[in-house]
Amino acid sequence: MPAEGSGPMVKVQIWGSLKDAFDGESEIEVEARNLRQLVEALEQRFPGIGEEFADQISVAIDGKLYNDNWFQPIAPESEVVVLPRISGG
Reported as a single tens digit per residue, the pLDDT across 23-78 is 999 999 999 999 999 999 999 999 988 888 878 889 999 999 997 788 999 999 99
Q: How confident is the model at residue 2 (pLDDT cuts 50, 70, 90)?
A: very low
Q: What is the mean pLDDT of residues 15-23?
A: 91
**Considering the entire predicted model, what is its pTM?**
0.84
> Residue 56's pLDDT is what?
86
pLDDT of residue 5 exceeding 70: no
Confidence of residue 1 (pLDDT cuts 50, 70, 90): very low
DSSP collapsed to 3 states, the chain: CCCCCCCCEEEEEECHHHHHHHCCCCEEEEECCEHHHHHHHHHHHCCCHHHHCCCCEEEEECCEEECCCCCCECCCCCCEEEEECCCCC
What domains lie within the chain, and their CATH numbers?
A: 9-84 (3.10.20.30)
